[in-house]
Structure 1
Amino acid sequence: MTISEDELTAARPRRRNMRAPEREQAILDAAIRFFAEQGFEGQTRELAKRMGITHSAIYRHFPSKEALIERVYEHVYVSRWKASWGPLIADRSRPLDQRLEQFYREYVEQVFDHDWVRIFVFSGLRAVDITSRYLDIVRREVIEPACAELRAEFGLPDVEQAPLTERETEMFWGLHGRIFYIAIRRYVYQAPAPRDLDDIIADAVRIFVIGAREVLPDIVRRGG
């Protein structure tokens, strides 16, 4: 049976008229999926084509591709960072391993996401500063405070008496990277990766603390 052009037109879903904030959010949501699939070499003209809107419609809401990428960063990365994580890491009423386990359980809930991980990787590969800016937050809000807490846990000089060393921060980056690599396996390599992470996080933190107890006193004593 042949379907007429009129019947095809009637069968297509009609795009409802959106208010400006709704249209802006729709473009942002589509851009997140688009950049997660195509990377930042993907063109906004192709994004508009996928959405079924004109190219100029994007630029009525976002003055440039860079402005759109900035909103992606704010929406995907900044908005998922919890203000409670800093106080959690600094809460010396609890053993540090418990604090780290809770932090990483909450952290993976926020960042183990297809779009989050792939945009993060594409950003690093294409010199878009999303990755570097986000890692600066991790360093400032997690890595360096956790290093200071590890010293306190072991009764070592605080950072005002003996500044943090590169070896100390690299130990914590190793823990952080070990956990995040599971997301890389899952969303970048499309390789098998565990889904239930609570025990894996607990194992990673325990192994880290046991090892740090052995090597950290000597690192601090030698000053790196």
Structure 2
Amino acid sequence: MRFSDEMARKAQKPAKRPVRRRPETGSKTAPKRRNMRAADRERAIVDEAIRFFAEHGFEGQTRELAKRLGITHSAIYRHFPSKEALIERVYQEVYLSRWSPDWGPMIQDRSLSLEARLTRFYLDYVERVFEYNWVRIFVFSGMKSFGITGRYLDIVRREIIEPAAAELRHDLKLPDAKSRPLSERETELFWGLHGRIFYLAIRKFIYETPIPPDLDAIVRDAVQTFMDGAKTTMPKLLMSG
């Protein structure tokens, strides 16, 4: 084949088209949260806010929270009109959702001894509330004026402390709370028991010091010791009052 014929044959072949690369859209690196549904984004904000406030307290800025979420600062306020509204939602999620409606009736169930009732309550209470976010938000709230701690303790007083004090009177055959209202000293006895058990959570999640691994035994010991002392102390309180 002549050189000129070879050149002509090659010229007839279609030239190879250059490979075109698809333009980078950024979809691989764009935060997935941008495409979330409103309900899912609100859920994500609440979940991250719980962790954020547990770590930094309520002085933590929502602008920093937005950075952690990978969203704009204004996106938070499309779901919550204020920081206070977000904190209120955190209260509902962390505290009200963990409060068992069975606890109040449990304390007043006279088919069991009061010691057995208190033991069952505190064993369940420890299991539900001895958790990093719960304890730290509770303590941070107590240092700021958002009212979470006070509101929660009102529930504890109404559902647990005062009914337990009234039940102790019944056990000891003392005048009931209707004929003779509970005294502050009586309810303080039960706050002392409550505080003793909750202090284990403070040691673990605030002071970050070791606590006994067998919390069930510690709870049982605390309730038994309390009941032994209360049976002697309660009649004296009523006599002195």
Specify if TM > 0.5: yes
Whether 1:15 and 2:32 are equivalent positions in the alignment is yes
Q: Does the residue aligned with 2:201 lie in a helix, a strand or coil?
A: helix
Distance 1:159 1:175 in 2: 20
What's the % identity of the aligned pairs? Answer: 65
Structure 2 gap segments, 5+ residues each: 1-22
Question: Residue in 1 aligned with 2:224?
Answer: 206
Report the CA distance between 1:11 and its aligned residue. Answer: 6.9
Deviation string 1:13-37 (CA, Å, 9 cap, x unpaired) is 7515211111001000000000001
Distance 2:113 2:129 in 1: 25
1:31 to 46, 49, 64: 49
Distance 1:165 1:129 in 2: 25
> Where has structure 1 moved over 6 Å in runs of 4 or more?
none
Distance 1:13 1:209 in 2: 60
- Aligned AA for 2:116? Q
Number of residue pairs matched by the alignment: 217
Mark the structure with the bigger radius of gyration: 2
Report the CA distance between 1:222 and its aligned residue. Answer: 2.2
- Aligned AA for 1:46? E
Distance 2:209 2:131 in 1: 15
Whether 1:172 and 2:190 are equivalent positions in the alignment is yes
1:131 to 133, 145, 149: 149
TM-score (norm 2): 0.87
Distance 2:78 2:31 in 1: 22
Distance 1:197 1:153 in 2: 27
TM-score (norm 1): 0.93
Q: Which has the higher contact order (CA 8 A, sep 6+)?
A: 1
Structure 1 gap segments, 5+ residues each: 1-5
Q: 1:222 to 1:206 in 2, by over 3 A?
A: same
Query: What CA RMSD, in Å, does the superposition of the two structures yield over aligned residues?
Result: 1.6
Distance 2:40 2:212 in 1: 37
Report the CA distance between 1:10 and its aligned residue. Answer: 7.7
1:98 to 98, 101, 116: 116
2:214 to 196, 199, 223: 196
